[in-house]
Amino acid sequence: MISIAMFNNKGGVGKTTLTCNLAAFSASVKRQRVLVVDCDPQCNASQLIMGEEFATDFYWNSDHKTSITTIRDILRPIEDGDSEISKEINPILSSKNRFEVDLLPGHPGFSIVEDRLGAAWHDLLGGDIGGIRKNNWNTEFCANVEEYYDIVFFDLGPSLGSINRSVLIGCDYFITPMGADIFSILGVRNIASWVEHWADLYENSIGLSQQRNPGRLDNYNIKERPSVLNGYLGYTMQQYITKSKQGVRRPTKAYEQIINSVPSIIEESMGPFFGENTSTESAKLGDIPHLYSLIPLAQSVATPILDLKSSDGLVGAQYKQREDYEEIIKKIAKNLYANLGESA
């Protein structure tokens, strides 16, 4: 099983749409067993995969009297002061949604655990085993589900806080969806310096703990060195405006200048985190041009873009947009799996 965090410090870059559609592609085309974990307290991935009607009933009307576990349920013991997570994992099954993926839903109250994990980070810095275990909750979670899935996608909010840090500690890889704007590029730079800073502190703390308590960490699922330090798979670039020139669609001049600067910035910022098969050239997984009404339509019917039909309301030029998106997501998946060392 491999685990991938989808993350950018800048919101509104199409991260959740890409996460859910890549997950659907992996399930339907690659025939992989896929789990999506919604770690964003805004629960956008949960709403996209299950629809607004389900979300309203699940979060508002049911009082959570359901056997489905959310990400908050998994971390409830840590919220209550323990170092362990719940081993009771009951996701929404793939048969219950059109994305054909299992979903561990998010929860608006998940942000409450941010303070707990922040305090645990300070304990970790002193070499405290409890603090190290709490910050490795995702390492433990991935070990608990690895026999059931081939790939797990984690959808993260834009925060550079303790929740996202702990998710990254447990993940194998990460991807940064980007928009063609200066703030998105600054977001990538922020991620690079942020990861470098806490990873250095983390490794020092692990060494301190091992020095004080030889062999004790071996009793738990603890990463001595986060895999994401050599797990950057690349970026996507979305929502720039194109114009036709000699029969070829190209971004407008203002966006083209920003886009042209991205490869060197990615190499400078994220190069130290490149995975074994990732290079400056291969890090660009693909472009996602403006899809106009296709995304809100897919959101309204809780459906992967590739699966949109006339019965969902697909009309006119949207058929061509759906065909274009099929080529886009195929290219992104092909490049992603190549950077994973696999074929698409």
- What DSSP line would sit under 32-99, residue for residue? --EEEEE--TT-HHHHHHH-HHHHHIIIIISTT-SSPPPHHHHTHHHHTT-S-------PBPGGGSTT
Token code pair at residue 238: 């979305």
Token code pair at residue 123: 């304990």
**For residue 105, what pLDDT band results from cuts at 50, 70 and 90?**
very high
Tell me the sheet residues that pair with 248: 245
- Report angle CA 92, 231, 286 to the nearest 5 degrees: 75
Residue located via tokens 């991205």:
262
How many angstroms separate the Cα of 154 from the Cα of each of 210, 274, 292?
A: 30, 19, 26
Q: Spell out a b/e string for 143-160, using b for 16 or more CB atoms within 10 Å of the CB, else e.
A: ebbeeebebbbbbbbbbb
Tally of CA atoms within 13 A in the half-sphere of 181 that contains its CB: 14
Query: DSSP state, 110?
Result: G
Residue located via tokens 């063609």:
180
Residue from 40, 3, 7 nearest 148 by CA? 3
Strand, coil or helix: 273: helix
Query: DSSP state, 282?
Result: T
**For residue 81, what pLDDT band results from cuts at 50, 70 and 90?**
very high
Question: Other CB atoms closer than 10 Å to residue 327's CB: what's the count?
Answer: 10
User: What would the pLDDT profile of 308-337 be if each residue is shown by its tens digit?
Assistant: 999 999 999 899 999 999 999 999 999 999
Token code pair at residue 282: 């291969």
**For residue 57, what pLDDT band results from cuts at 50, 70 and 90?**
confident
Token code pair at residue 141: 């979670």
Q: Is the pLDDT of residue 261 over 90?
A: no
Taking the C-alpha atoms of residue 238 and residue 54, their distance in angstroms, rounded to an integer, is 28
Taking the C-alpha atoms of residue 37 and residue 19, their distance in angstroms, rounded to an integer, is 10
**For residue 184, what pLDDT band results from cuts at 50, 70 and 90?**
confident
Taking the C-alpha atoms of residue 254 and residue 205, their distance in angstroms, rounded to an integer, is 45
Q: Which helix (H) or strand (E) holds 5?
A: strand 2-6
Q: Residue 276: what are its φ and ψ, rounded to 5°?
A: -60, -35
The arithmetic mean of pLDDT across residues 128-155, rounded, is 98
Strand, coil or helix: 112: helix
Q: What sign does the dihedral 126-128-131-134 (CA atoms) show?
A: positive
**For residue 257, what pLDDT band results from cuts at 50, 70 and 90?**
confident
Contact residues for 265 (Cβ-Cβ < 8 A; gap 6+): 185, 188, 189
**For residue 12, what pLDDT band results from cuts at 50, 70 and 90?**
confident
pTM: 0.93
